Amino acid sequence: MSADGWLAAATVVVVFSLLASGRWPAYIVLLGGLTLLLVAGVVSPAAALSGFSNPGLVTVAVLFIVAAGLRQTGTLAYFLRRALGRPRSVRRAQARMAGPVVVGSAFLNNTPLVTMLLPVIQDWCRIARVPPSKVLLPLSYLAILGGITTLVGTSTNLVVDGLLVARGQPSLGMFGVTAVGLPCAVAGMLYLLLFGHRLLPDRSTPVPETDTPREYTLEVGVRAAGQLDGKPAEVTGLLHVPGLNLLELRRRDGAVIDEPGGDRVLTGGDQLVFSGVLDGILDVLRTPGLSAAAAQLDKLDGHAADRCYVEAVVSRTSPLLARTVKEVRFFQMYQAVVLAVARNGQRLRVPLDEVDFRPGDALFLEANRDFVEKRRNSGDFALLSRIDGEGPATSAQAPIAALILALMVVSVGFGWLPMLTAAALAAAAMLITRCCSEETARTSVDWSLVLAIGAAFGLGRALEDTGVASTISGALLACAGDDALLALAVVYGTTSLLTEFVTNNAAAVIVFPIAFGTAQQLGVSHVPFVVAVMIAASASFVTPIGYQTNLMVYGPGGYRFSDFVRVGVPLAVMLWVITVLLAPQVYGF
């Protein structure tokens, strides 16, 4: 092996060690390793940057915008809450997530699926009070398991099938890998559900006792014929929003029910009064079927996607003092609407439009995006701060967002469009139809994740170009001898090892010709070897950089390198055994 090869291998070892320590963010470690190889001349600038132009990486970035549209309209949250509910244990949370994720990733490429689900499941974890570290790693693993069950579930299967066709062999077809991939997926699901919750860490971060955030009082209305009309309060999940309490249910006939129980059925026109912290308020305002009860909200200029949320504290010299929203004509004065009020932790007993303002009252406003800049130097408010995030929900566009998602999935599932093209069109449609704003689209992309994935591609390219990957695979395959079953086991193990260091597609491309040639030399069918390469290249569970979805959940879940090893090694070994034993029985040697 050349000097460049030894340097590339040493750099990857150091990168893995630093990732295992958990002292630095993944993107800094990976970019640092890639920069070292670039400066040393091991990789060319074009090769180092090739990962950032990879269609898979660009697709991930674009799909963040699609996910932002689905999230701001409340569409994805609505469907996920119906599918996931509010489980009473971590095992039930994983069980309710398993089916939808595995089935979805079988027909929609697993990386885009995790990209769209990640922010919504993070929100769901907070609402359901489930530690994200107990759910996000299974999310990645379940998406990988679903992807190996069909030809279109992962790009790796398509790449390997293309290599097979290029050699004059017939394609395996849509479900050619299913006979082995499905048993692997089922076994993996059972492993995660039975043992995963015990192996996964609990990295929940409780709020310090000294933290005393403002408690707002919020009023919202139940929309007639909406998603919550006719539903018991318990089913809606509104009784269990973290940091929020349902204080009153005001019926449309004027009846007031204090501290309503979960058996109370909500009807269109009812008003709900909540008290709690800002995060809980935002969760309620994004809930489909609810609308802010504040008057004149519909008179704000511009589309909801062009507005923002603002916190404003009433000053001691404000003209609002001792006057109500009605008396001061708040909307006409400020072109903003009061959605909630916080007053030193007190519960406000009157409707918000009848609250007389006092010094220090915190107002939660919906306003146009230039509100803070216009009022920053005004003496009316002692403090003005814009609340970053998606901003007001664009729930009126929810059916449009659902249609955009459905068209994207169908066009990819039937092979009408490549994933990148379909995702780009869907993102453009989200912006054009105002499902999300341009600002939300810009801020929705997780740039640290994009940098980490791009750098990981570059490191894999270095191992590939310097011959490290092919040297390792050739040495391992030379140990197989003339035993077809042993050769199949070595092919799988070699591919599985490489895919933890290089990209899954690169591992498949490196091992495929060796595996195909081995089958020909032994005079046996090549199909078991091809299927083994497909599954092994995608079944990357042991390191965070082996597969994009692992890297996606690495930071948000608060994981360490050792978490992947502890949970992933038994899963990887189990799929190895199943594939090696089952593939010859299904396809024959």
pLDDT band for position 530 (cuts 50, 70, 90): very high
> Whole-model pTM?
0.67
What letters, b where the CB count within 10 A reaches 16 and e where it falls short, cover 257-294? eeebeeebebeeebbbbbbbbbebbbbbbbbbbbbbbb
Average pLDDT for 216-224: 88
468-477 vs 447-465: helix crossing angle, rounded to 10: 60
Number of neighbours of residue 588 by Cβ within 10 angstroms: 10
Average pLDDT for 470-489: 75
Whether 576 has a pLDDT exceeding 80, the answer reads yes
Q: By mean pLDDT, which of 151-160, 227-236, 357-366, 439-448 is the weakest?
A: 151-160
pLDDT band for position 212 (cuts 50, 70, 90): low
In angstroms, the CA 354 to CA 482 distance is 86
Residue 179: its pLDDT value, please?
A: 94
In angstroms, the CA 279 to CA 139 distance is 24
Class of domain 216-387: alpha beta
**Model confidence pLDDT, tens digit, residues 52-88:** 877 767 877 887 788 788 878 877 666 766 666 666 6
**Model confidence pLDDT, tens digit, residues 176-197:** 899 999 999 999 999 998 888 7
Residue 206: its pLDDT value, please?
A: 47
Compute the residue count for the chain: 589
> Is the Cα torsion angle 545, 497, 12, 459 positive or negative in sign?
negative
Residue 208: its pLDDT value, please?
A: 41
Residue 484: its pLDDT value, please?
A: 86
To the nearest 5 percent, what fractions of the chain are helix, strand and coil? 60, 10, 30
Residue 357: its pLDDT value, please?
A: 92
Q: Report which listed range, 123-127, 479-483, 543-547, is most confident.
A: 543-547
**Model confidence pLDDT, tens digit, residues 241-294:** 767 888 888 888 888 888 777 678 888 888 888 888 887 788 788 777 888 877
* Radius of gyration of the CA atoms of the chain, in A: 27
pLDDT band for position 209 (cuts 50, 70, 90): very low
- Nearest CA among 407, 399, 450 for reference residue 428: 407
Average pLDDT for 373-392: 82
User: Which residue has better confidence, 85 or 456?
Assistant: 456
Domain range annotation of the chain? 216-387
**Model confidence pLDDT, tens digit, residues 281-317:** 887 887 778 888 777 777 777 777 778 889 999 999 9
Residue 388: its pLDDT value, please?
A: 67
Number of neighbours of residue 449 by Cβ within 10 angstroms: 24
Tell me the two tokens of residue 108.
Answer: 């929609």
Whether 330 has a pLDDT exceeding 80, the answer reads yes
Residue bearing tokens 């539903």: 231
Average pLDDT for 564-569: 92
